[in-house]
Amino acid sequence: MTSKATSQEPAVRIPGGTRQVTPSGVRLVRDWMKSKNRNPFPFQRATWKAILSGHSGLLHSPTGTGKTLAIWLGALADWINGQADQQQWRTHKRPTRQKAVPLQVLWITPLRALAADTLAALEEPVGELGLPWRVERRTSDTSSSVKTRQRERLPSCLVTTPESLSLLLSYPRSAEAFSTLKLIVVDEWHELMGTKRGVQTELGLSRLRGLNPRVMTWAVSATIGNLEEAVATALGKKTYPCDLPLVSSPATEETREPAPVVGGTRTVIRAPLRRKLSIRSLIPESIERFPWAGHMGLKSLDGVLQALESVQSSLLFTNTRSQAERWYAALLHARPEWAGQLGLHHGSLDRDKRKWVEQELDAGRLRCVVCTSSLDLGVDFFPVEQVLQVGSPKGIARLMQRAGRSGHYPGGKSQLVFVPTHALELVELAAARDGLKQNRIEARPPRTGCLDVLAQHVVTVAAGGNLQPQQLLAEVRQTHAFEYLEDQQWDWVMDFVERGGESLKAYPDFRRVKRTDSGYRVADSSIARRHRMNIGTIPSDQEVMVRFLKGGRLGTLEERFVSRLKPGDRFTFAGRTLKLVMFRDMTAWVRKSSGKVSAVPRWMGGRLPLSSELAEAVRNRLAEASRGEFRGPEMRAVRPLLELQETWSRIPDDQTLLIEKVKTREGFHLFFFPFEGRLVHEGLAALLAWRISRLQPITFATTVNDYGVELLSPTDPPLEEAVERGLFSLLGLQNQIEKSMNATELDRRQFRDIARIAGLVGGGLPGQGKSSRQLQASSDLFFDVFREFDAGNLLLKQARREVLSQQLEHRRLEAAMQRLASGEILIQHPPKPTPLAFPILVDRLRSRLSSEKLEDRISRMTRQFETLANQDAKRGGA
């Protein structure tokens, strides 16, 4: 997005436009908008024109309304223009399934919860314009009778999720069903594109384009750092009619007018930022008394209450679900009179509970909703005046997205109040402000080469009819994810679904997909059924339903949490105090309770690492502080603390790696402060511990947070010697990381998702009851069996690759090592743990990781035993 706009006109120019554009469709939809007292924005008109010209493209805007209508009215106008007689099609009532216009638009949304809202927004103009269209949705919530009818004849527009699209493709006659499709819309593409669901969507789209090459694709995305990749992933390599280089330009800042520049058939349209954004922090009155560490932030409760009282309606975002539960309870405790005006919203709550909160919020009846990223997406709630963010947003895009959830009323302004949970988070916010100002929005790197998703897709296509390998391969290679798929990988995937694995001998009697004269097909209908049940790529931890004994569902909890509870234990969930009565058949039966709570549930997924953009901004802010510059209220507030850091040790600047060595009663602590985010630090911690222990046998307990790494040992570690002998050397990095991290265990964990997506583990057959359990095995078992009996299995290699790229952020780690290796190393010996070190110290009390792995310890015990035994034998023989 760096090229300057070459055109002065805001309108779209279509080079060599071949279609006769009749304006009647546009006029109709424009008049409809005007009848609603809305004037089409320039970006909306630009989108209509692009769609009428048959272009594919991407529409991106910071949060805000109008994106849906930009595309939808374009699609409707296009259809109207295609009708011969303008009067004939008008209808007063919703057409029957048979009479409705056949499938025109497929609208893919990342969340099934969004599908209902999208549906309502799409139906409004259809009904009022009297179009003979049916708009329906199809998600996992749709009843099976409706699904069956939809399969017989799809509605004019279908709102669906990536999983439901794959399912549709897995039924026979899908080619016929999609033959009339004109337009695919991928909504909130930024949410999908960095995930395996994104890859699944890419494959689904490539299949649709394979079935119907003339179909247009429009992606809708929030602002992200890699829009080019967003376009490439959503639109694929080739989009009808030809593939010309993508040209686009940024919106002109002065006019805030979109300046879409069209190159070939791909258009990128930028909707202008419409609302102003104001951010303020709840600066603690006395920074000295404000905690140096922590993650709940309840210390700022009074300030939060004041902020909530100052407006009618607020959203309070927390970073984790357990934080949300705690904050909800704390607010209700402080203001019991707010009962009924407070809502709790997070992903594990029952859908009905969430829906109620959304409705009440929309109606303006709630003062505050405590929520997690579950409310990051979706329709805007007009009453919300301000957003409070508890704890660091960890990324610039996330801060922007959340702030944008407020101020949707006319003339409104997005307001964000930042609630720090510990003092140093003020630095993170100051840094996030810089990032926002400089527009350094994080990228969402798309996933590539996921063979598990590809294997699933191949079976999906085979279930849908005769699969032609060469044709499918050509389609698959049109996607960004598999653009560079090697022949050998493709052959392996085909072998995997046809024979089980590479070698025919190792997988006797295997059947899943079989070759026939007319193409590949699924071996039998029960395999197809089983496959359909397990389509999808969403990681699912074993979840336990929480229900009242008297009836009523509350939501879900992770099994690992529930299995630790005993009947009678009290815990908070869904904003209530509950007592566990029994845990049976994956359901936790509870009763309402009161009194002392013994546990707040924790969910995995855990804490997000600091994004590299924000991490860099933090380093810059600290570098300023090291020069004595403290800009802005946050930095001024945290100044005394940083000055103390400077007195005891040093404030690291961007050229230096600060290492602090402190001795306490616990032992010798080494603190390293690379400020690279916790994932990178995890890899780094293991690597540093491993390298030091090569000089001298020593065991470390390691802890990390977003700022740094702690290595704790009972004996004095040879730090200076290690630094001299290349502690930060780039030599042998990857190999040593794998060795030091116990990569096998990490692979095993990563393999869980892969095993499910590739169809190794999953639910049994419907109606088979108990006997289907005989086909269940855990992914751990598969992992062991593959390692022992089929070590060349590419899924194992994929697990390793994902561990390196996703878990350890290997590239980032390498970049960090490069930075550290070229910078200056500063070793300090402060009298006690410094303000920077303190949060890590506290973190250690919560999670302890030993550098020596259990298997090693067991084999060490074995060796010890054998030595003892040998000694005994010698003694006996002597």
CB of 147 to another protein, least distance (A): 23
CB of 111 to another protein, least distance (A): 30
Toward another protein, which CB reaches closer, 209 or 530? 530
Cα–Cα–Cα angle for 226, 229, 231, nearest 5°? 115
CB of 781 to another protein, least distance (A): 6
CB of 794 to another protein, least distance (A): 12
Nearest-CA neighbor of 406 among 453, 371, 456? 371
Toward another protein, which CB reaches closer, 629 or 872? 872
Structure tokens at 327: 């904050």
CB of 223 to another protein, least distance (A): 36
Toward another protein, which CB reaches closer, 474 or 781? 781
Toward another protein, which CB reaches closer, 337 or 788? 788
Contacts of 864 (CB under 8 A, 6+ apart): none
CB of 57 to another protein, least distance (A): 40
C-alpha dist (Å) from residue 498 to 200, 502, 565: 20, 10, 44
CB of 161 to another protein, least distance (A): 25
Contacts of 620 (CB under 8 A, 6+ apart): 431, 434, 654
Toward another protein, which CB reaches closer, 381 or 786? 786
CB of 486 to another protein, least distance (A): 21
Give me the DSSP letters along 247-258: ---PPBTTTTB-
Amino acid, single-letter form, for residue 266:
R
Give the separation between CA 269 and CA 13, rounded to whole angstroms: 13
Toward another protein, which CB reaches closer, 818 or 859? 859
Nearest-CA neighbor of 367 among 392, 399, 332? 332
CB of 796 to another protein, least distance (A): 12
Cβ neighbourhood burial of 855 (10 Å; 0-12, 13-18, 19+): exposed
Toward another protein, which CB reaches closer, 508 or 831? 508
- E strand or H helix that includes residue 595: none
Give the separation between CA 483 and CA 474, rounded to whole angstroms: 10
CB of 312 to another protein, least distance (A): 45
Give the separation between CA 738 and CA 231, rounded to whole angstroms: 34
Give the separation between CA 215 and CA 55, rounded to whole angstroms: 10
Contacts of 431 (CB under 8 A, 6+ apart): 614, 617, 618, 620, 621
List of residues contacting another protein (CB under 8 A) = 496, 499-501, 505-512, 523, 526-527, 530-531, 745, 759-760, 771, 774-778, 780-782, 784-786, 788-790, 847-850, 853-855, 857-859, 861-862, 865, 868
Give me the DSSP letters along 333-376: HH-GGGTTTEEEE-TTB-HHHHHHHHHHHHTT--SEEEE-GGGT
Toward another protein, which CB reaches closer, 484 or 789? 789
Toward another protein, which CB reaches closer, 354 or 530? 530
> Look-up: residue for tokens 């879409």?
260
Q: Output helix, strand, coil percentages for the chain, rounded to the nearest 5.
A: 45, 15, 40
Half-sphere exposure of 227 (CA within 13 A, CB side): 26
Cβ neighbourhood burial of 640 (10 Å; 0-12, 13-18, 19+): middle
Toward another protein, which CB reaches closer, 363 or 868? 868
CB of 471 to another protein, least distance (A): 23
Toward another protein, which CB reaches closer, 63 or 793? 793
Name the strands in the sheet holding 656-664, side by side, starting at the edge strand that comes first in the sequence: 824-828, 656-664, 667-673, 709-713, 701-704, 849-850
CB of 496 to another protein, least distance (A): 6
Contacts of 228 (CB under 8 A, 6+ apart): 1, 246
Toward another protein, which CB reaches closer, 352 or 745? 745
